[in-house]
Amino acid sequence: MKATFKIWRGQGKTGEFQEFATEISEGMVVLDAVLHIQGEQASDLALRWNCKAGKCGSCSAEINGKPRLMCMTRCSDIDLSQPVTVEPMKTFPHIKDLVTDVSWNYEAKKRVKPFKPRPPDNPDGTWTVMQEDIDRGQEFRKCIECFLCQNVCHVLREHEKFDGFIGPRMMVHTAYLEMHPLDTENRTSELKDAHGIGFCNITKCCTTVCPEDIHITDNAIIPLKERVADFHYDPLKRLFRLFSK
Amino acid sequence: MSELRTHEYDVLIIGAGGAGLRAAIEASAAGVTVGVVCKSLLGKAHTVMAEGGVAAAIGNVDERDNWRVHFADTMRGGQYLNNPRMAELHAKEAPECVNELEQWGALFDRTKEGKILQRNFGGHRYPRLAHVGDRTGLEMIRTLQDHGIHQGIDFHMECTVVRLLKDGDRVCGAFGYFRERGQFVVFRAKAVVIATGGIGKAYSITSNSWEYTGDGQALALNAGADLIDMEFVQFHPTGMIWPPSVRGLLVTEGVRGEGGILTNSEGRRFMFDDIPENYRTQTAKDPDEGWRYVTGDRNANRPPELLTRDHVARCIVREVKEGRGSPHGGVYLDIAWIKEKIPNAAEHIKKKLPGMYHQFKELADIDITEQPMEIGPTTHYVMGGIRVDADSQMSTVPGLFAAGEAAAGLHGANRLGGNSLSDLLVFGRRAGRYAAEFARSAKPATEKLDEQIKAASEFTLAPFNRPDGENPFAIQRHLQAMMQDLVGIVRQEDEMRKALGLLEELNHRHAGVHVDGNRDFNPGWHTAMDLYNQLAVSEVIARSALTRKESRGGHFRLDFPEKDDAQSKVNTVVRRKPDGSLSVTQEPLVPTTDEQRAIIEEMK
């Protein structure tokens, strides 16, 4: 069957939807349709993609207004009787067509203090770590850096707090480091101040769009908020630390 | 030339998958300046797709494992065309490299004692693959990326290298363009490491993404380096085949490592029907022994599904050809059957193979805990590539290094699963170390590069300057279909001759290719540029395959179906001649030492 796709075309601040009709066959995902259009009707149509299997997080877009990976959105799951709109992520500066400038995310990650392990447990330089101690960390490591969570977070999308907030993706990254059984670093001060964890008011938009089903709010952000509260606001613990120094 | 950007580094690394990142970290640690360029964003390279694990003889699950067994397994898997020194270094250094990843924050699955867990994989005698479920590659690339960004390395993302620059005989930099705005860039460098991965996109059915167009192999070839073993392309036995849009997508060997079996339309486990002589003593006699092996019985031999990839792929092709295939032209891979053997099988499968569960559920409406998967071979990896020195990873061109899939030697005629992730680490590290050493003692380039830069700019802009011409995507599709058809899993002389004729035609068409639009993020233009490399490596593959008149590993000739003794002693070497044509010769292998031979004999 034929379906119509309205794809955002343009550069920087200017642009408009352009309509393309293309043939849809069994099993096709939106990325297939967009690549067919690129191959046959618009060779300069800009988009990012790599693995086509939901593993690299390159093809993030807004499909009929919903932030999704194009490669994991089956055409059979959307209403093809109407034109399907495909737009770039709105939170990041637009470059061209479906491509946005996501470099801020890479800069934000550099601001998170790196992993700092305790000395090895064993003479051969290895550590002894139990599976149950890394189950939670492994959940965070499923992240494919598609930045859809950053895209829907209203602290970034509406309030544009790019300077004072690192966004849900980097909260997940921080949570992985903080809950890593070997890590010895403390990141609570930056979380409270420069990384702006207080801005998150746990509306869970990030969790809803995560293609890896990471429980971003419940398992990463809320426990980090608790750590910040424990470390900086619990008077008993502060006193205890003062005297144990 | 006002729009030309320039950067200067001691070491320039092209490619930011596992090998490129590992090389960058090592070079940077040696105290030299390092720049990395990659065609995609950081962390998106194909390493991310690696699923099953990283092979290293740590011996956590079976203490009988050690580097000597790993070395012998790798040589046997590669049908003894491997560079034995590389296979030795790889087996010896892989455990240390895995440990390094843990130092940098990687979270591998654990044994009950809290050590790194290892799993079974094809061609490995003992459980050897350190892993994280079925997303080991993601864990590896993220670990290297997150460590690398704090080491003072410059990353240039979405940048394509078009030409290497030379100062006399040696390499002194690279010319390329930034994809975002089409701006040209010159990297001046004392040493260059190629870590650009493979060539999979030369075929229509492949597990590789758009990036894998043989850039590094072609850049090196054009800069005067030797390519070897390029006839050895690995067709992974288990790719998805239905629906059509996911055809070629990888299904991890881990499915078979966890007990998955291959059956034909008659329900027969056909892998038991054809067990190669050199694996007979290591293969299970019956399904029961196979099951005991995958569940950890140390006295059992592995099931035939875990024979090497070249063999399994050919058995699948045979079943389909002889009319015992599945409805969409493959065979069945069944992991759901283990529910006969263990309680909570569905939960166990989801825990061990979460990515596969998700992939089939989302893309094919198949619940792998209930139903078998339909699978068939997919172009996955090239064993051949840039000829390098085993210790330093330097190519035959001074200052030009290569690591990972782009380099050749470790895998011989067939790569064992899990040996590529360890390859990236071991030889990425070596390439970084020796490139830094080379850079430190290298004198600055003396030659003025203006001429080379001018020529490269004109070459790069040519597709815009033709009034009309063909769409690059159309030429690419024809190339892929042609290679799939004529230089695929089963090869013969007349078909490959035909392929060479068609390649000439495609080259001619490509010389007139035209792209629309401007230089800003223009995939048509990018594809036109990548096509130069794809056409070049396709010709190298076809010519190498024609030259090897025998069947071995990933190279199967219908007209020469047996192994040939004389050709068991040579590599196929391809060079660019001054007139631009290719020379193909057969040259003696790197010899094995007495000690290496003794190990191979002992493990037979």
Strand pairing report for B582-588 and B570-576: antiparallel
Q: Which residues of B are catalytic?
A: 236, 256
Tell me how long chain B is: 604
pLDDT score, position B446: 82
| pTM summary value | 0.96
Task: Give 3-state DSSP helix, strand, coil % of chain A, rounded to 5.
Answer: 40, 15, 45
Q: What does the block give as tokens for B441?
A: 């003692």
Burial group, residue B300, by CB count within 10 angstroms (0-12, 13-18, 19+): middle
B467 touches chain A (CB under 8 A): no
Tell me phi and psi for residue B375, to 5 degrees: -135, 160
pLDDT score, position B204: 96
Backbone region of residue B426 per phi and psi (left: phi > 0; alpha: psi in -120 to 50; beta: other values): alpha
CB contacts, 8 Å: B138 with chain A:
55, 141-142, 144
- Taking the C-alpha atoms of residue A94 and residue A8, their distance in angstroms, rounded to an integer, is 11
CATH class given for the domain over B238-377: alpha beta
For A103-244, the fitting CATH number among 1.10.1060.10, 3.40.50.720, 3.20.20.140, 1.25.40.10 is 1.10.1060.10
Residues with Cβ < 8 Å from B96, sequence gap 6 or more? Answer: none
- Taking the C-alpha atoms of residue B349 and residue A242, their distance in angstroms, rounded to an integer, is 50
Residue from A9, A52, A127, A184 to probe the interface with B (highest B Cβ count within 10 Å): A52
Query: Which of these ranges, A33-37, A241-245, B102-106, B595-599, has the smallest mean pLDDT?
Result: A241-245
pLDDT score, position A13: 86
DSSP 3-state assignment of B537? Answer: helix
Instruction: Out of B44, B102, B477, name the one closest to residue A127 (CB).
Output: B102
Asked if residue B552 lies in contact with residue B544, where contact means CB atoms within 8 angstroms, the answer is: no
Cβ contact B246–A52 (<8 Å): yes
CA distance B123 to chain A (A): 26
Strand pairing report for B556-557 and B184-194: unpaired
CATH code of A2-100, in short, is 3.10.20.30
- Taking the C-alpha atoms of residue B360 and residue B32, their distance in angstroms, rounded to an integer, is 46
Residue whose C-alpha is closest to residue A47's, from A66, A25, A69, A14? A69
pLDDT score, position B2: 47
Instruction: Give the model confidence (pLDDT) of A177-234 as tens digits.
Output: 999 999 999 999 999 999 999 999 999 999 999 999 999 999 999 999 999 999 888 8
pLDDT score, position B1: 43
Residues of chain B short of pLDDT 70, as ranges, are 1-2
CA distance A201 to chain B (A): 28
Residues of chain B with CATH 3.90.700.10: 238-377
Strand pairing report for A2-9 and A84-87: parallel
Question: Where does B322-395 have alpha helices with state H?
Answer: 345-352, 354-364
The one-letter amino acid at B247: R
Query: How many other β-carbons are positioned within 10 Å of the β-carbon of residue A23?
Result: 11
Instruction: Out of B139, B180, B242, name the one closest to residue A141 (CB).
Output: B139
DSSP 3-state assignment of B523? Answer: helix
Residue whose C-alpha is closest to residue B489's, from B557, B544, B427? B557
CATH code of B450-570, in short, is 1.20.58.100
pLDDT level of residue A241 (50, 70, 90 thresholds): confident
DSSP count for chain A of H helices, then E strands = 10, 7
Cβ contact A26–B244 (<8 Å): yes
Residue whose C-alpha is closest to residue B179's, from B44, B41, B45? B41
Q: In A95-111, which positions are buried (b, 16+ CB within 10 angstroms) versus exposed (e)?
A: bbbbbbebebbbebbee
Residue from A50, A122, A129 to probe the interface with B (highest B Cβ count within 10 Å): A50
Residue whose C-alpha is closest to residue B510's, from B535, B490, B541? B535
Residues of chain B with CATH 1.20.58.100: 450-570
End-to-end CA distance of chain B: 62
- Taking the C-alpha atoms of residue B331 and residue B156, their distance in angstroms, rounded to an integer, is 43
Closest residue on chain B to A174 (Cα): B146
More confident residue, A241 or B469: B469
Q: What is the ipTM of this complex?
A: 0.96
List B238's β-bridge partners, or say none: none
Cβ contact B521–A95 (<8 Å): yes
pLDDT score, position A245: 62
Between the alpha carbon of residue B315 and those of residues A19, B28, B264, B305, B462, the distances in Å are: 46, 46, 11, 10, 46
Instruction: Give the model confidence (pLDDT) of A13-22 as tens digits.
Output: 899 999 999 9
Give the CB-side neighbour count of residue B391, counting CA atoms within 13 A.
1
Question: Where does B104-247 have alpha helices with state H?
Answer: 136-148, 215-222
Residue from B25, B39, B41, B181 to probe the interface with A (highest A Cβ count within 10 Å): B41
Give the start-end residues of each E strand in A182-229: none
> Locate tokens 């060079």: which residue?
B575
Q: What does the block give as tokens for A102?
A: 């996501």
B287 touches chain A (CB under 8 A): no
B363 touches chain A (CB under 8 A): yes
Tell me phi and psi for residue B332, to 5 degrees: -100, 140
CB contacts, 8 Å: B41 with chain A:
48, 58, 102
Question: Where does B410-554 have alpha helices with state H?
Answer: 419-441, 450-461, 472-486, 493-511, 523-547
Tell me phi and psi for residue B111, to 5 degrees: -80, 175
Domain spans in chain A, listed from the N-terminal domain onward: 2-100, 103-244
The one-letter amino acid at A236: L
| Among B residues 97-156, those touching chain A with beta carbons less than 8 Å apart | 99, 102-105, 107, 109-110, 113-116, 132-133, 135, 138-139, 142, 146-147, 149-150, 155
Residue whose C-alpha is closest to residue B198's, from B506, B521, B540? B540
Residues with Cβ < 8 Å from B102, sequence gap 6 or more? Answer: A126, A127, B108, B116
Between the alpha carbon of residue B479 and those of residues B507, B511, B532, the distances in Å are: 10, 14, 11
> How far, rounded to the nearest angstrom, does the alpha carbon of residue A92 sit from its chain's CA centroid?
12
Residue whose C-alpha is closest to residue B189's, from B203, B172, B176? B172
Which uninterrupted H or E stretch holds B386?
Answer: strand B385-386
Cβ contact A11–B520 (<8 Å): yes
